[in-house]
Structure 1
Amino acid sequence: MVTHVSAEAQGDERGALLSFIEEQRGGIRRTLLGVTDEQAASRPSASELTLAGLLKHVAEVEQNWIARAKQEPPAIQRDQSNWHETFQLVGDETVAAQLAYWEEVAAETEKFIRSVPSLDDTFPLPPQPWFPPEGRVSMRWLCLNLIRELARHAGHADIVRESLDGKTAFELVDLERAS
């Protein structure tokens, strides 16, 4: 398992927040242990969600929030015409490539959160109807939002994986330790 936050760095607030983010990333990564790309792209439950799609989605969402906090354009632009692609592998995309991309995003997240002068620093929210007009949020909010987003989708991934082959989160932790 790749861990971006060292044990020594977890004692401060930033380290604690980054550790919780990494813990939720690990939950999603574990659901992909021992499955093929075909299995990861399959829909074994009533949901449209797949393990591969959840992986791609959380990586893109994390990258987009960090870009927004830096007040830069996101690397991947999504709108109504291509929103569905955030939840599925397209073209020659693979689980391995998405995991590698997410590792880069995770490293950038830690570097950025460690570099901001204060977790109280703010950035503008996107102009979406579910956010207040001209709203701003703190870097602390960003970290908490990432934890919430990742935890939500880690739960989805647990259900998809269990539907796929009956493996539960506890069994996947054991599988991760064995690998």
Structure 2
Amino acid sequence: MSSLSGERATILRILAEQRDLLLITVRGIGDEEATQRTTVSDLTLAGIVKHLTACERTWAHIVTERDGNPPGWPGSEEQYRMGEGETLASLVADYTAAARETEEAVATLTDLDRVIQLPAAPWWPEPPAWSIRFILLHLLRETAHHCGHADIIREALDGANTTRSMTGEASITT
């Protein structure tokens, strides 16, 4: 990513900051805590990490215009649950790998204005066409949205929350 400049670098930098906030939020959490519901929502910390991994892979697949629907498209409720044999550590490792895949895909893009027809999904009677820029900003929005959820879940779990110091460094406080 360091060789990128301009808009692509800026989008990836902000996305990386959001990913870092998520990883800080799940730091120090065990597998049992990662699957615990702490609000009226069914969301859990593990489920958020797993879902955002699927998001990263889906959108990287779409922006590189690979043939066919992205694997697992359009997704299921299982993408929000830690499965048999999975651990929070394995989900975080997979999320980190998916983030690298997204960054590698974005590095190959030359035109963020290029419009891509999105695959069919139950929530779109007629799938829209989005620019690559819009897709990347959508991924950023999705990540930031779920970072907020994760912070609330973590605070309800053990009183810790993600804060950002005046230097811009994030940390967990209780």
- Pairwise same-fold verdict (TM > 0.5): yes
More helix by share: 1
Q: Label 1:132 to 1:115 Cα distance change in 2 as closer, same or farther (>3 A).
A: farther
Q: Label 1:61 to 1:174 Cα distance change in 2 as closer, same or farther (>3 A).
A: closer
2:121/2:127 contact within 8 Å kept: no
What's the TM-score, normalizing by structure 2? 0.85
Equivalences for residues 28-67 of structure 1 within 5 A: 28-67=22-61
Q: Distance in 2 between matches of 1:39 and 1:16?
A: 34
Q: Which runs of 5+ in 1 are unaligned?
A: none
SS across alignment from 2:116 = strand
1:75 to 45, 64, 71: 71
SS across alignment from 1:49 = coil
Q: Distance in 2 between matches of 1:170 and 1:17?
A: 21
Q: Distance in 1 between matches of 2:127 and 2:35?
A: 38
Equivalences for residues 1-179 of structure 1 within 5 A: 5-6=1-2, 9=4, 11-72=5-66, 73-77=69-73, 83-128=76-121, 130-131=123-124, 133=126, 135-170=128-163, 173-175=170-172
Q: Deviation of residue 129 (structure 1)?
A: 5.8
1:125/1:131 contact within 8 Å kept: no
CA RMSD, Structure 1 to Structure 2 (Å): 2.3
What's the TM-score, normalizing by structure 1? 0.83
Identity %: 35
More strand by share: 2
Query: How many pairs align?
Result: 167
SS across alignment from 1:169 = strand
